[in-house]
Amino acid sequence: MSTENEGTAVPPAPSAPPVPVETPAASAQTAAPEGGAPTAPIPAVPPSAPGAPEQAPALAEQSAYASAGAGQGADPYGQGTGAPGSAAEAGWPPPPPATPSYADGGGSGADAWGSSYQQPAPKPKNGRGGLVAAILVAALVAGGVGGGIGYSLAKNNDNSTDSTTVSAPSSSGSVKRASGTVANVAAKALPSTVTIEAQSTSGEGGTGTGFVFDTQGHILTNNHVVADAVDGGKLTATFPNGKKYNAEVVGHAQGYDVAVIKLKNAPSDLKPLALGDSDKVAVGDSTIAIGAPFGLSNTVTTGIISAKNRPVASSDGSSSSKASYMSALQTDASINPGNSGGPLLDEQGAVIGINSAIQSTSSGGLGGTSQSGSIGLGFAIPINQAKNVAQQLIKTGKPVYPLIGASVSLEEGTGGAKITEQGASGSDAVTSGGPADKAGLKPGDVITKLDNQVIDSGPTLIGEIWTHQPNDTVKLTYTRDGKTHTVDVTLGQREGDS
């Protein structure tokens, strides 16, 4: 399956700030951007395309990013990049996916609400036209009389003691809602969710979402949401109450599609969203997503967890783009371009994931003639993984990736993650002295399981490895010459995206 990220072609960022949320109990309001906020769909990756960042056969569909203005698809499974069209090193960098894209791509701008009304030309006057007009006048008069009689009867009936109509008592106090209701969760989470506008030095950019990570002003979001502002661009974050802050990128991890930004002159009353435990999430659990789909800031949608450990690969679709991989939480909550980077909450209001990609049914991705919208297939980075990455970025500014030190094929139909005969740029497929080498793995071996997780492709292996930490010991099951073997592998590490 290929996924599109929300941020491929980035439409103009909305000029109007999000509609303020007056009180925590108030419902979330949204503001529509003038030109449509960018959100990137995840482009589909041809299952058999060599080097395609497509996911395992189970995900052989098309997805896109969920953030406005982001890129297109990426491969969810591998660990690194291999020879073009054949393999990916179980380290970095993986090749760009063929079609996946982010969920923060932008929407279209002009005539978003339709064309303007034009007064029809007057018809020539004749006997028939006059008759029609007379009939219309009579009908209007009759309608007016009937309406007046109906209103009078209703009014009299309301005042009658025999009326069966029951009116709800007026209340001057606010409506109180239980802690588990969507309205209550939204009221508490919205004030800590921001709409992010990123602009490059050339003026290109897009819109996405983020949420307060700590009281120091750090905001957690997707890498593809802020990518345009990384090298000297402009970055702003706007809260639902209309307050806008300039921000800077603290660190970004392209492979994980996670980034941390920090507000300049951050307010002292920031309230970080509580982080849940994505490992304990179960299929069928309720979900609540908050974001700025197509620039409509502070939008709240609901759904359930549709699947766990879904291998997803996504990228911005450009030839120079590297793939992002995740073992994602799948949800049917409505997620569209602009939702990227926003929180996926459980029914108690705890963050369980970062909305990142959506399934796309279009063949062209964000760069084509159409843009993906919600079809009930959205993907979020599990918060347990995103939290670890964010903490590393805040600490050092650079991501750390676990790896096994072997190049694996990104093609499907290999029955697992096949170690290639040669690595990237002519290097050895199995790094000498690396984790795989120490465990006895060789070119041609096909890895079929990592611990208890079935591995059906190279991208799936990458996504699963990246849910761990360097120095973790995992159990790899592989086949060689028709025989199955199991070995323990202590993961190595690589720092940075390049």
Residues identified as active-site: 224, 257, 340
Specify the pLDDT at position 364: 42
Token pair in block for residue 302: 């609901």
Specify the pLDDT at position 64: 57
Token pair in block for residue 127: 């006997």
**Of 464, 474, 498, 468, the residue nearest 325 (C-alpha):** 464
Q: Which H or E element spans position 143?
A: helix 127-159
* Residues near 56 by beta carbon (within 8 Å), at least 6 away in sequence: 1, 76, 77, 311, 412, 456, 457, 459, 460
Indicate the SS3 state at residue 384: helix
Contact 248, 269 (CB under 8 A): no
Specify the pLDDT at position 165: 64
Q: Give CA–CA dist 200/198, Å, rounded.
A: 7
CA-based radius of gyration for the chain: 27
Buried b / exposed e along 426-442 (16+ C-beta atoms within 10 A): eebbbbeebbbbbbebe
Q: Give CA–CA dist 207/295, Å, rounded.
A: 7
pLDDT digits (tens, 9 = 90+) for 305-319: 999 999 988 876 565
Q: How many CB atoms lie within 10 A of CB 349?
A: 20
Contact 30, 240 (CB under 8 A): no
Q: Residue 57: is it exposed, middle or buried by C-beta count within 10 angstroms (0-12/13-18/19+)?
A: middle
Backbone angles phi, psi at 391, to 5 degrees: -65, -35
Q: Give CA–CA dist 62/409, Å, rounded.
A: 20
Specify the pLDDT at position 2: 44
Indicate the SS3 state at residue 284: coil
Peptide bond into 93 cis (omega under 30): yes
Q: Give CA–CA dist 289/327, Å, rounded.
A: 19
DSSP character at residue 190: G
Q: What is the pTM of this model?
A: 0.69
Indicate the SS3 state at residue 386: helix
Q: How many CB atoms lie within 10 A of CB 243?
A: 13
Instruction: Give the HSE-up count for residue 30: Cα atoms under 13 Å, Cβ half-sphere.
Output: 20
Contact 276, 382 (CB under 8 A): no
Q: Give CA–CA dist 356/254, Å, rounded.
A: 12
Residues of the chain below pLDDT 50? 1-2, 4, 6-62, 68-87, 91, 93, 96-101, 105-155, 158, 363-369
Q: Give CA–CA dist 274/286, Å, rounded.
A: 17
Could you give the dihedral angle defined by the CA atoms of residues 124, 126, 131 and 134, in that order, rounded to the nearest 10 degrees?
A: 60
